[in-house]
Amino acid sequence: MAQATATPTGVAPKTAADEIPWNPKVTQHRTVGDWIVDIVIWTILTLVVLAVLYPIWFVIIASFSDQTLVASGKVTLWPLGFNVKGYEMVFSDDRVWQGYLNTIIYSVLGTALNVAVTIPAAFALSRREFAPRRIIMFFFTFTMFFAGGMIPNYLLFRSLGLLDTMWVFILPSAVNVFNLIVARSFFESSIPEELHEAAQLDGESYYGFFFKIVIPLSAAIMAVIMLYYFVQHWNDFGTGLVYIQDTHKQPLQNVLRDILLANSTQTGNSSMSAGELQLFADQIKYGIILISTIPLLILYPFLQKYFNKGVMVGAVKG
């Protein structure tokens, strides 16, 4: 079977095992060296997963535990003094639900605009025959470093009427140059030149080439870019902090931050004792991770399956 795969003609037999041809399991040349490499890889990965998993697990159990026990280091493997006060506090606040809704709206709309603007631009900039691309790239890259700062932004948004509206979350962040560069370098390295020639021979314009050929081949990069943008919108609290006053327009992150800070204000002659407030604050702090992250964790495997679509590039070429 493996010999067949390796025939110079490159004609592969249609066997299930060959679906993943680099799968080491199908290689008959499994040397001792390979076994050692295998063991090493699996050991490292297991350690990595444990090293990442434990602190995450800790956050989860800490969010259900008595905070005095957490602070004194007694909580290690299982929740102690089990309670859900932190979650109760967060979810009984109606702003949280509004915040969730806002964040979803801003993230979905924002990401749609981001992808619509970034992907075509990245494609155009990846075309080597497009002479001005280096200047344009410089034009973009420059803005990664030089920014006017909060106050000129504030003045601009005010004159455009964006202050205190949802658009302030969507329009100014339409292009993230980092993502643009990532997408462009993907197109550069993964879209073979002969595809373009073939398209030209078929009489396709750049539009045709892009929409009919490039897009279907770019599921992986689209998934990555969408994920990057979506997470960027999801975690954005700077915008709400400065440019939004209306509580009902605040995204989730700002609402959570507000709850968190309100419960950890330590100074001042307040009537509730600082110690008590702080304990609430800690529990909320851990709980917030779960509350704000779960949607993203659900999203990831969904996008992840597209990563393997990139394989198709190699396929279509022949």
Q: Does 171 bind other proteins (CB under 8 A)?
A: yes
264-293 mask for other proteins (x: CB under 8 A)?
xxxxxxxxxxxxxxxxxxx--xx-xx--xx
Q: Is 112 in the site for other proteins (CB under 8 A)?
A: no
If binding is defined by CB under 8 A, does position 66 make contact with other proteins? Answer: yes
**Residue 302 in the binding site for other proteins (CB under 8 A):** no
Applying CB under 8 A, does 83 fall inside the site for other proteins?
A: no
Q: Which residue from 55, 78, 97, 202 is in contact with other proteins, where contact means CB under 8 A? A: 55
- Encoding tokens for residue 305? 């399956």
* 232 lies in the binding site for other proteins (CB under 8 A): no
- Is 155 an interacting residue with respect to other proteins (CB under 8 A)? yes
For other proteins, which residue of 39, 101, 112, 136 counts as binding (CB under 8 A)?
136
Please state the closest distance from residue 47 (CB atom) to other proteins, in A.
11
213 scored as a contact of other proteins (CB under 8 A):
no
Contact call for residue 104 and other proteins (CB under 8 A): no
From candidates 1, 39, 84, 261, binder to other proteins by CB under 8 A? 261
Q: Contact between 51 and other proteins (CB under 8 A)?
A: yes
- Selected from 99, 227, 233, 251, the binder of other proteins by CB under 8 A is 227
Q: Which of 106, 123, 169, 230 binds other proteins (CB under 8 A)?
A: 123
Query: 């920014």: which residue's tokens?
Result: 147
Site residues for other proteins, 179-208, by CB under 8 A, read 180-182, 185-186, 188-190, 192-194, 197, 205-207
Closest distance between other proteins and the C-beta of residue 101, in Å? 19
The CB-of-246 to other proteins minimum distance in angstroms stands at 8
CA distance 224 to 215: 14
Task: Say whether residue 138 binds other proteins (CB under 8 A).
Answer: yes
Pick the closest to residue 291 from 261, 257, 266 (CA basis).
257
Which of 39, 101, 144, 216 forms a contact with other proteins (CB under 8 A)? 144
